[in-house]
Amino acid sequence: MIDDATVRHVARLARLHLDDDEEHRMKEELSTILDHVDAIQALDLDDVPPTTHVLALENVMRDDVPHPSLSADEALREAPEVVEQRFAVPRFEP
Partner 1 sequence: MTALHERTARDLVRALHAGEVGAAELVDAHLARAEDDRWGSFLAIDAERARARAAEIDAMPERPPLGGVPIAIKDALSTRDLTTTAGSRILEGFRPLYTATCVERLERAGAIVIGKTNMDEFAMGSSTENSAFQPTRNPWDPGRVPGGSSGGSAAAVAAFQAPWALGSDTGGSIRQPAALCGIVGMKPTYGAVSRYGLIAFASSLDQVGPFTRTVGDAALLLSHIVGRDERDSTSLDWPEPVAVPSAEDLRGLTFGVVGELMGEGVEPGVRAAVEAAVARVEELGGSVREVSLPSSAYGVSTYYLIAPAECSANLARFDGIRYGPRHEDAADLLEHYERTRGDGFGPEVKRRVMLGTFALASGYYDAYYLRAQKVRTLIRRDFDAAFAETDFLLSPTSPTVAFRFGERIEDPLSMYLSDVCTIPVSLAGLPAISIPCGLSEGLPVGLQIAGPAFSENRLLDVAHALEGALAFAPAPPGVA
Residues that bind partner 1 (CB under 8 A): 2, 6-7, 9-19, 22, 26, 29-30, 32-34, 36-41, 43, 45, 48-55, 57, 60, 62, 70, 74-75, 77-81, 87, 89-93
Q: Residue 86: which H helix or E strand, with range? A: strand 86-87
Query: To the nearest whole angstrom, how small is the minimum distance from the Cβ of residue 54 to partner 1?
Result: 3
DSSP conformational letter for 3: -
Distance CA 21, CA 2 (A): 16
Query: To the nearest whole angstrom, how small is the minimum distance from the Cβ of residue 84 to partner 1?
Result: 15
Closest of 9, 1, 8 to residue 23, by C-alpha: 8
Smaller CB separation from partner 1, 17 or 66: 17
